[in-house]
Structure 1
Amino acid sequence: MYQKTVLDNGIRILTEKVPAAYSAALGFWVENGARHESRALSGASHFLEHLLFKGTRRRSALDIAKEIDSVGGALNAFTSHELSCYYAKVAGNKLPLVIDLLSDIFCHSLFDLDDIEKERRVILQEIHMVEDSPDERIHELFAQNFWPDHPLGRPILGTHQSVSSLDRSVLLDFFANWYTGCNLIITAAGDLDHQQVVDCVASALGSLPKGCRAETVAPTNRPLCQVNILNKKLEQVHICLGTAGLSQGHEKRYVGQILNAILGGSISSRLFQKLREERGMAYSVYSYLNAHADCGSLVVHAGVSPDEAGHAIGVILREFNLLNKHMVSVDELQAAKDQLKGQFMLSMES
């Protein structure tokens, strides 16, 4: 069972002791991501993720790297549409060290001008990399047209124009607004003591301003049927086809997960078997659920040769239609449930 403590400044701390573990994992989750950005600020959350590892008043970027390496730990971060996460894994007795380290970058990052310009160039290259990777770019194109004129339709990395225009003052304001106590959730699991974690966090982050919770607006203007084509000279056509899905807290979200497993969530799924195993039309074919706080989508991706794109789309639509009109067999339903239960149990061991 997990334990929860909420500090006076709104920081939520959740921990779970794993008796057999020698290590501990720690996450600083900021409830702020790409969907909380205006068009002009697109990419700001991801930009901050890069900058927070570039040095504080107490530690240089090299010091941060050396400190985590000196205990054999791992330190990383990622940004999504709805949150930013900074996480680490260390031996259980080194958890206070990494709490202090992550707290330091939250409270005392320098945002040096030279580092900002350097990371700007890095991020612009990251954007180029996505644009040159059709199997990644296709998902951005889908989101852009599925949620038009909404932050969920904009890339997490931002655009060339927005990233190029983000200056230090804008980034500092964005950081001050959202990296606050009420937007921060700290989680830890493994070889730990809950009260020790609470004491370490309270000591390091007790003075962090409470701030205001990030607010979101649900998308409303989703097209019912739309085809978008981006022409590039490639050996394959990448197809992204999708429809409305379920939100993270929807009462039928588990039904959606089972449906996705049956459709294209595994190598025994219908789409994998039909497109790859039976027809040899695709190497990569899968479906996934994109669940947000207040909306979602069910998306299918496949990479096929240009002369078989139409056929592949027909096969995908046929499987959608079959799921809509015919009951899933008892055996197929049970197999999907067993797959998801197995994946869940394996994930709980990490």
Structure 2
Amino acid sequence: MPLALPLEPGHELTAGQDGGALVRRSVLPGGVRVLTESMPGLRSATIGAWVGVGSRDERDGHHGATHFLEHLLFKGTARRTAMDIAEAFDAVGGEANAATGKESTCYYARVLDADLPMAVDVIGDMVTSARLDPDELEVERGVILEELAMNDDDPSDVAHEQFAAAVLGDHPLGRPIGGTPGTIRAVPRDAVWEHYREHYGPAGLVVTAAGGVDHDALCASVTTVLQDGGWPLDDSTAPVARRVAGSAWVPDAGTEVVVRRATEQANVIVGGVGLTATDDRRYVMSVLGAVLGGGMSSRLFQEIRERRGLAYAVYSFSSSHADTGLFGLYAGCAPDKVDQVEQLMVAEWERLADESITTAELERSIGQLSGGLVLGMEDTGSRMNRLGKAELVQGELVSLSEALERIRAVTADDVQKLAAELASRPRSIVRVGPFGGGA
């Protein structure tokens, strides 16, 4: 059975995992949650400090602040300059970075096990005591604008951003994670500071680590760095509640978007609303994606690339959030072939909805997903991420063996039913390329 992760002050949990790994979880004073997965024989560890806040949580006037904070927390604290932070990890051969999502932000580092206390101290200092210096903010504003410009020069990135906006419309999840050039230029330092003070605190903090890690020592280090940062650590404080999950939000109609770019190739995406992050059918979705567009043996790859030579890149994809998700089919092709490719993608999707997949396809896809899952768990970063998502999103931790069982339990009938449901929802189309009109 999955391990429940209750939001109770002082809660403790210990459970063995596959391959001799040991998962432990503690709810510390202040509501801070610490989860570790000790992996025998490893001399490295990956640690992440998570805040359950993403771009969807930005209030009016704060748009772009979440991504801004991801950059600014590396620019200095009361105890460290930006150079001090960079040197701390370079001096031990470690790596440090951060990732902003639509519903969470993570600051993480991979180091030798002996250097884990240093990583905890530096990342904890960044999270609790960022200065958000006005001069540094203005410098970083230019860096972020260049990052957005780089992404805008990639037509496939543009297609995916436009697809989310087309499907989700005015929903906060439809906004780009990194903000837009307009919001980044407009957001003032006070708004970024307000966003930081509003969302960064002990009750919302989750610390996860995997590899050569001692749980008790990590909890002690986390407590010390938070106290040094002046965060209140009250024994009676419970963690903040997780997002409320529900039925997937579905728009009333699909949208067609054309973005003009002077490119040699057209990028096209067809799709719509997918599943929420806690939908029990997420394992069915994985199998569906593998059959339709998840590898070289998938239907899209075989029909569009191998048989017809119409595209180099063609695949299906999905993403999930608390109250909605995305499902889509992507291809890059010659502009004069885009109609044909789009029709073929839709035809394969609808065939999946109308006809059961073969036993061979089901077994091959289950094998593909099972192997990928096991191989992915060989990495401490993947295990650290798994703990963070289980805590912030699922409210339970599914072991590797249980996940494999859920994948193997998927039937051909399950796949057809889900494909039919997805195909019945409003459908959006995004094209990016050398077309007339559009943006």
Does the 8 Å contact 2:31/2:240 carry over to 1? no
Matched residue, 2:124: 103
| 1:271 to 2:300 alignment | yes
Deviations 1:29-48 (A, max 9, x none): 11000111135322111100
Q: Distance in 1 between matches of 2:257 and 2:49?
A: 38
Deviations 1:165-218 (A, max 9, x none): 212211111001111122211100111111001111111125524796586798
User: Could you say which residue in structure 2 is the equivalent of 1:141?
Assistant: 162
| Matched AA of 1:175 | Y
- TM-score of the two chains, using structure 2 as the length reference: 0.77
CA contact under 8 A between 1:183 and 1:214: conserved in structure 2?
no
Find 1:29's aligned residue among 27, 31, 50: 50
Give secondary structure in 2 for the equivalent of 1:230: strand
- C-alpha separation in 2, matches of 1:213 and 1:51: 26
Q: Which amino acid aligns with 1:306?
A: P
1:319 aligns with 2:348: yes
1:127 aligns with 2:156: no
Alignment correspondent of 2:332:
303
Sequence identity (%):
39
> Do residues 284 (structure 1) and 307 (structure 2) align?
no
Residues 240-269 of structure 1 show CA distances to partners (whole Å, capped at 9, x for unaligned) of 111221111111110011000111111221
What CA distance in whole angstroms lies between the structure 2 residues aligned with 1:208 and 1:277?
58
CA distance 1:59–1:246, shift in 2 (3 Å):
same
Does residue 184 of structure 2 align to residue 163 of structure 1?
yes
Over residues 276-300 of structure 1, what are the superposed CA-to-partner deviations in whole Å (9 max), with x where a residue is unaligned? 1111111111111111122111111
- The one-character-per-residue Cα deviations of 1:148-174 (angstroms, maximum 9, x if unpaired) are 111111111111221112122111110
Three-state SS of the structure 1 residue aligned to 2:139 is: helix
Letter in 2 for 1:27: G
Q: Which residue of 1 aligns with 2:363?
A: 334
| 265-274 or 10-19, which deviates more | 265-274
Cα displacement (A) at 1:220? 4.3
Residues 36 and 215 of structure 1 are in contact (CA less than 8 Å); yes or no, is this contact kept in structure 2?
no
* 1:243 counterpart residue number: 272
Say whether the 8 Å CA contact 1:24–1:95 is kept in structure 2: yes
Contact 1:245 1:295 in 2 (8 A): yes
Query: What secondary structure, in the 3-state scheme, does the structure 1 residue paired with 2:207 have?
Result: strand
- Give yes or no for contact 1:51–1:116 (8 Å, CA) kept in 2: yes
TM-score, structure 1 as length reference: 0.96
> Aligned residue pairs: how many?
350
For residue 238 of structure 1, give the secondary structure of its aligned residue in structure 2.
Answer: strand
CA contact (8 A) 1:42 1:154 kept: no
Aligned equivalents of 2:60, 2:337: Cα separation in 1: 37
Letter in 2 for 1:153: G
SS of 2:276's partner is coil
Which one has more relative contact order, counting CA pairs under 8 Å at least 6 apart?
2
Gaps of 5+ in 2: 1-15, 17-22, 380-439
Which amino acid is the alignment partner of residue 264 of structure 2?
E
CA separation in 2, counterparts of 1:141 and 1:123?
A: 19
CA distance in 2, matches of 1:217, 1:330: 33
Question: C-alpha offsets along residues 4-36 of structure 1, whole Å, 9 cap, x if unaligned?
Answer: 000121111000110021111101111000111
Structure 1 CA distance, aligned partners of 2:158 and 2:258?
12
Q: How do 1:42-61 residues align onto structure 2 when only pairs under 5 Å count? A: 42-61=63-82
Q: 1:191 & 1:271 partners in 2: Cα distance?
A: 42
Higher mean C-alpha displacement, 115-124 vs 161-170: 161-170
1:347 pairs, out of 363, 372, 376, with 376
1:257 and 2:280 matched: no
1:291 counterpart letter in structure 2:
S
User: How far apart are residue 232 of structure 1 and its match?
Assistant: 2.1
Q: Structure 1: which 5+ residue stretches go unaligned?
A: none
Question: Residues 32 and 214 of structure 1 are in contact (CA less than 8 Å); yes or no, is this contact kept in structure 2?
Answer: no
- CA–CA distance in 2 between the matches of 1:267 and 1:28? 36
C-alpha distance in 1 between matches for 2:160 and 2:147? 16
One-letter amino acid of the structure 1 residue matched with residue 102 of structure 2: H
